[in-house]
Amino acid sequence: MNKFTMTINGQQSQSTQYVDVINPATGQAFAQCQQGNVDDLNQAVASAKSAFNAWSQTSSAERKAKMLALAAALEANMPELMALVTQETGKPMGGLNNVGSGMEVGGSIAWTQMTAELELAVDVVQDNKDARIEVHRKPLGVVGSITPWNWPLMIAIWHIIPALRTGNTVVIKPSELTPLSTLRFVELANEILPAGVLNVVTGEGDVGHALTTHKDVSKIIFTGSTQTGKNIMSASSCNLKRLTLELGGNDAGIVLPDVDVKATAKQLFAACFHNNGQTCAALKRLYVHASIYEEVCQEMAQLAKQVSVGNGLDEGVELGPIQNAKQLQIVVDLAADAKACGGRFLAGGNKIAGEGYFFEPTIVADLTDGCRLVDEEPFGPIVPIIKFSDVDAVIAKANENDAGLGGSIWSADVVKATELAKRMECGSVWINTHGAIQPNAPFGGIKQSGFGVEFGLYGLEEYTSIQTLRIPK
């Protein structure tokens, strides 16, 4: 069984404490990784702090070159990283609409390349006979990254690369459920970066808490649940750390009566079920106009019955397992509650017998707001379809939810859809698609979905502080 180690100050840790990593498709251990502790975390932060001065003084061109080298390392090791992602998350190598581990590693490469090209230029706000006033963007120091289990490598890249690009150093703590692809990437990165610039420490909640409360950490970026985000916000107040929190989503999609039902249903299904529904910005509440409601329900149910579910390492598999037993139980409980609420199960609704954490792709009709499956984020392969007749009322319903990550409007009239989209209370809104994030457009949530943004120049600025420089003439 392969063993994976932490990297601290450019060196592989010598810890003798290891824990199993489970393949959710089998429920069995397939590798082991070191179990880090608070002492390891403190050592990593000290290393990052020591490396910051030299790294922050490197030129933008030099850091850009290093980021492009990291992208090349990802590309050179793509097959190995894909296999690790599939085994630790369960997602297929290819996946539904090619959203699988190939997309995760490929996206990691693209985001790294795109971010490498970004520049935060000096902003001259005054230049006259009295003075020249410049606004500079300065790196913060040590950035702490805490990542989730659903997209472990790509979200690590989203955190790490902009932090390094702007001259910060990083300590990352991956999810204890999916640490391997991150551990391997950091190991590869340390063949390119100076020692201490990028460190990784594994472990449980005590390690995460030590990172969020550490006096020498200047910023925390976290992707995960809303409750954990609130805990991090409270813990980080000890030294007024900067925060970027990308938290849970319960994205609503509103389907107007003028759509091509058959074509739209395929797109809706992909938006709901890619990565088995385990994506923050997946479509999770589907509101469909009454005039096409039954037709959309039946099309979605047919697609759910046809999709291929299985071990992500097998050829042709579109959906894998739920990543862990705890999340599987959440989905089971939500399905039971939906039945108690009178939900009409058009497809699925049950665990799949056998090894692994599999659940049938599930479509539930005839629910309303107030049912748990509508009000709560399931983070699994189960979608409620809710009937509406009045557009103004359904937008109000969509906005009542505490989450505010993403939303979408589906209509043949793009102008009308755009106007309706502006009324949705969420950080991103898409027309006739959902979850289409890209590295040059900012992405983040409002309300209980967090604050701060990632990607592009807006995201890059989150890793800097402003310094205003006044030069007299």
Q: Establish whether domains 2-247+447-472 and 251-431 are of one fold.
A: no
**Of the residues 33, 272, 280, 297, which is catalytic?**
280
Q: What topology does CATH give the domain 2-247+447-472?
A: Aldehyde Dehydrogenase; Chain A, domain 1 (3.40.605)
Q: In what order do the strands lie in the sheet with 2-4?
A: 2-4, 28-34, 18-23
The token pair that represents 17 in the structure block: 């404490």
Q: Tell me how far apart the alpha carbons of residues 7 and 98 are, in angstroms, rounded to a whole number.
A: 32
Map out the domains of the chain as residue ranges. Answer: 2-247+447-472, 251-431
- For the entire predicted model, the pTM comes to 0.97
Q: Spot the catalytic one: 246, 376, 377, 454.
A: 246
User: How far is the C-alpha of 208 from the C-alpha of 201, rounded, in Å?
Assistant: 9
**Annotated catalytic, 238?**
no
Tell me the CATH number of domain 251-431, given options 3.40.309.10, 1.10.150.530, 3.40.50.300, 2.60.40.2310: 3.40.309.10
Q: Which of 46, 15, 61, 65 is nearest to 196 (CA)?
A: 46
Q: Which two tokens stand for residue 154?
A: 């790509």
| Tens digit of pLDDT at every position of the chain (473 positions) | 899 999 999 999 999 999 999 999 999 999 999 999 999 999 999 999 999 999 999 999 999 999 999 999 999 999 999 999 999 999 999 999 999 999 999 999 999 999 999 999 999 999 999 999 999 999 999 999 999 999 999 999 999 999 999 999 999 999 999 999 999 999 999 999 999 999 999 999 999 999 999 999 999 999 999 999 999 999 999 999 999 999 999 999 999 999 999 999 999 999 999 999 999 999 999 999 999 999 999 999 999 999 999 999 999 999 999 999 999 999 999 999 999 999 999 999 999 999 999 999 999 999 999 999 999 999 999 999 999 999 999 999 999 999 999 999 999 999 999 999 999 999 999 999 999 999 999 999 999 999 999 999 999 999 999 999 999 99
Nearest alpha-carbon partner for 155 in 83, 89, 80: 89
13 in the Ramachandran plot: left (φ > 0), alpha (ψ -120 to 50) or beta?
beta
Amino acid at residue number 333: D
Is 176 annotated as catalytic? no
